[in-house]
Amino acid sequence: MAIREIISPENPILRKKAQRVTDFKDPKLQTLIEDMAETLEEAVGVGLAAPQVAISQRIIVVQLPDDEESREEYGADAGVLHVVINPEIARASDNMVSGVEACLSIPGLFGSVDRHDAITIKGQDRHGKPIRIKTRGWLARVFQHEIDHLDGILYVDRAKRIWKAEEMAE
């Protein structure tokens, strides 16, 4: 396993639509997933898409924090590593919620983004087996943010307002 470099918007891969994964037997796929999980942990983030590590494939890893406060707030979702390949939003609530987002590829900025409060994702696990995940709240927001990355969309494209980290402290 290895920590991968997280690219910035200057790299055109971040703005391209990622390609579907079709070969689940390729050992490079499993290595990439492990590297992405390790990179996410090292970066202290909650989600990472393969294009963020310069790989144009439809792979995301998502993991909410696993501390006492997070377990209280997110219950069984806290600390669970979700690996979803070829994810799609199968259902989305009509209810939209505004929330603050940031991105490992755009350090130092925050933005206010409207997202669906609840979604159902369909995709495949790391071995190609079909999966469905129903979620709401922050976890739903993280999944939507990461799926956007697979389509070359950054949260700043959707943000109603963007500000620098130092303004957040004020």
How far is 105 from 51, CA to CA, in rounded Å?
A: 10
Let me know: does 54 contact 5? Beta carbons within 8 Å: yes
Cα–Cα distance for residue pair 95/6, rounded to 1 Å = 32
The pair of structure tokens assigned to 129 is 């087996």
Q: Of the listed 5, 42, 146, 166, which one is catalytic?
A: 146
CB 116 within 8 A of CB 98: no
Please indicate whether residue 146 is annotated as part of the active site: yes
User: If we measure between CA atoms, which residue out of 50, 41, 155, 33 comes closest to residue 103?
Assistant: 155
Catalytic residues, by residue number, are 146
